[in-house]
Amino acid sequence: MLTSPRSLLILISIFLAAPANAQPFDVGDEVILRSDNPRGVPIHRLPRSSLVGFAEQGASAVIEDTAREGRWLRVTMDDAQAWVLASNAFTSDMEIPNERPSDTDRTLLLDAPCEETGPRERLTHPLFVVCFDTSWRIPLWVAYRLSPNAMSGPGDRKKSSWEQDTRIAPLLQAFDREYVGSGWHRGHMAPAEAFTRTQPAVDFTHQFSNAVPQSGSVNSGAWSKLEKHVRGFVEDGATVWIFTGSLSLDLKKECLEPPFDSSCRCLSAAGDRVEPERRMDIRQRRIAVPSHTFKTFLVEQDGEWDGFAFVMTNIHRPMGSFFDYQYSIDRVEGLLGLDLYASLDAATEETVEANTISISSKRRRNRCP
């Protein structure tokens, strides 16, 4: 029987994701729980979903059932039952690590190239990192990390106003007046809704080092829904590392002015990297308007990694569902000419950056090639 390439990819992904302690467990086995999560061992109501809390490191448990080819275990701890990842369980004859090893340096996951020797400046801050292009006067990329214990709070974007970034010379970034009447939104790259932990954090997202001219139909539609979907991973207990930014690709002529052909929404309508063809200020041609905006993100939960990428054409046309604009991280990196997640260990990087399996739980098909 022939196996499709998609089936092979799924089988390979399952093999690579198998727990390092590949010894099969049996119902009734007594195990010790340990993980590299500083909050403890994640426990779930169901496999891979419904995080309900954390067990203490070194907690004892008894296996009651298994799921997903043995990668998940239903265990009893002090008369309570929960699901845990099998790679977080160890029997008495296995070596129990004091600290779970990892080949990925998570502190470097937002450390992508920025080519600071040219017209680009790297702006670092505890909230997010910006690679800012002073010739385009917009960010090339903005990188940030979201975790369950540092996202929601009392911050309110309605109390914020747009300001210039004091780290950049005023003439090398946008002025608020240039957006007024331009037909373009001030498109957040690091979204305000992800930084409501404090009011100063929300305020910090309202700087022009964190904005690109973005179509309102994209910004308030599919793009906004994608950002909400990313936050959903964090609300379910995952940690997410995100790069979002701008692309300048050679668009077909029929994609530069309305009415836009439906094919303009897909990357197949774009060519190689070029200098921006559109500028927001027609008289001074100061601010570049990107042809596309992108978002890539790594999702880590209970020792498992997933990777997703989305690219949307920056045109004044409703984009429909964001599910239709999913691509691989590899493809976005090729368009940028950058390796965004170079600090990932080789095996994880090869698997997650090539992923094109739909982010949708309904496994709907991407309409764009």
Q: What 3-state DSSP class applies to 140?
A: strand
Q: Is 181 left (phi over 0), alpha (psi -120 to 50) or beta?
A: left
Q: Locate tokens 């061992």: which residue?
A: 41
Question: What residue type is assigned to position 268 of the chain?
Answer: S
The helix/strand count (H/E) of the chain reads as 7, 20
State the Cα torsion 156-157-162-167 to the nearest 10°. Answer: 60
- DSSP3 helix / strand / coil % (the chain, rounded to 5): 25, 30, 45
Check if 185 is active-site. Answer: no
CA of 350: how far to CAs of 9, 163, 344, 357, in Å?
Answer: 12, 40, 9, 14
Question: What residue type is assigned to position 338 of the chain?
Answer: L
Instruction: Give the containing element (helix H, strand E) for 177.
Output: helix 176-179
Alpha-helical (H) ranges within 1-130 are 5-16
Contact 65/74 with Cβ under 8 angstroms? Answer: yes
Instruction: Give the containing element (helix H, strand E) for 329.
Output: helix 329-336
Query: Which tokens go with 303?
Result: 């020792």
Query: Which tokens go with 65?
Result: 């059932």
Residue 98 annotated as part of some ligand binding site: no
User: Which of 44, 125, 185, 188 is labelled catalytic?
Assistant: 188
Angle at 128 between CA 123 and CA 132, to 5 degrees: 35
Backbone angles phi, psi at 123, to 5 degrees: -115, 110
Q: How far apart are CA 139 and CA 363, in angstroms?
A: 33
CA-nearest of 298, 289, 238 to 42 is 238
- Residues within the annotated binding site for Mg(2+)? 219
The set of catalytic residues is: 188
Binding site feature residues:
219
